Amino acid sequence: MNIELSGHFNYRRIVLSVMPSIAMMVVTSVYGIVDGLFVSNFAGTTAFASVNLVWPALMIVGALGMMVGTGGSALISKTMGEGDADKANAIFTMLVKFDGIIGIALSALLFVFFPSIARWLGASSEMMPYCITYGRVLLTMMPAYILQCSFSSLYMTAEKPQLGTIMSIVCGVANVIGDALFIGLLGWGITGAALATGLAQVVGAAFPLLYFSSRRNSSRLKLVKSPIVWHHILKTCTNGISEYVGNIAFSLVSVCYNLQLMRYVGENGVSAYGVIMYVGFVFFAIFCGYNIGITPIIGYHYGAQNHKELHNLLKRSLVLMFVLGTLITGISEATGRWTSAIFVGYDPELLDLTTRAYRIYMLSFVLGGVNVFVSALFTALNNGLISAIAALARSLVFELGCVFILPLIFGIDGIWMAVTIAETLTFILCLVLVLAFRKRYHY
């Protein structure tokens, strides 16, 4: 079943259109949690902390795929709205090629220097072997992860978001089976966790490559013979730079969280933050999935110059994001200790620390969804600069500043409060940006 980009979208149609993308992202984040559960319970606290320490650095590379996917989705959907299907397919093909090139080059470079990277991230002597092993195993399959991230955004543009959902389920099942086999049964510890994740990523990249190049492809996008046209690559990267900046900023902020936590609390603080990140990824995946689903719809109507529908999509999306954020916060506050116990229930002291941190941190989701949507809105409008400003301010300016300043005032609680204060400041900025560009885009 195709989900069309054209036509009027009421609340029901918006929800039905974005649900496959939300499901895809949630399933993907859930199998990340399974990794954490297996590592924490089978390999121990040091291995669990090591994974959490190096994961942000690996995400900086993987985020390139999200940048190409979201930026390309905006450009391709706009081109479709303008009525040029052949050009849309050509852009789609060159972006897939570009993913492969940058993936291989960067993975090889980081593989060589990963011990130095782990040391710079603050790994202790006990954590170093775990960090290096996990990082290098995943880097061998990082090109596949970059492709998987790009395709996750492009399924909706192809009007086949249900394929993304199916693939996320397949990859999730493959990862869980891999964790059970490699960690639980064979006892390979952190190496098994990396192998399970990496092999699932290979599956997630291989299927769309085969599907979009096959004769059975019934979507709006096809892999065709097309040279790389660099100004299209540049436009794509400009469109998607906010997603990359946001992911880099998030990764850098995560590194700073870990450095501060090692300073104030030690290894237990990093483990508590890891629990928050695993669960937070699931909730954040709802926002991310919504944006993946709505971006090509907005881009299509922008290309078709349907200003009335742009206003409709903006208004309804803001309402939906605020409602979702409020619900997520309420659920988090009610289930904080139970959720924390799943990961660290074996250590009462760590459980108490994690529960308190979790409940403080999760207040940020009330406004978080609105903020990430506004950034995605400007990506869909092919204005990567303003989108990047919103994303950069949110993480690298407001949150990074708060994570260093607030602990001086509130102690350890200041670290957990940083994200909520940052989201509040970002909300004010986003409100100003939406109003400032209202006349330009006629939404």
Q: What is the pLDDT of residues 19-41, one digit of tens each?
A: 988 988 887 777 667 777 788 77
Q: What is the pLDDT of residues 252-298, one digit of tens each?
A: 787 788 888 888 888 788 888 888 887 888 888 899 889 988 998 99
Asked if pLDDT for residue 1 goes beyond 60, the answer is no
Lowest-confidence segment of 66-75, 180-189, 240-249, 411-420 by average pLDDT: 240-249
d(CA 56, CA 258): 10
d(CA 411, CA 296): 43
Q: What is the pLDDT of residues 405-438, one digit of tens each?
A: 999 999 899 999 999 999 999 999 999 999 999 9
* Mean pLDDT rounded to a whole number for the chain: 88
pLDDT at 213: 92
Q: Is the pTM here over 0.85, yes or no?
A: no
DSSP secondary structure of 207-274: HHHHHHHSTT--SS---------HHHHHHHHHHHHHHHHHHHHHHHHHHHHHHHHHHHT-HHHHHHHH
Count other Cβ atoms within 10 Å, centred on residue 428: 10
* Structural tokens at position 259: 């450095």
d(CA 160, CA 438): 31
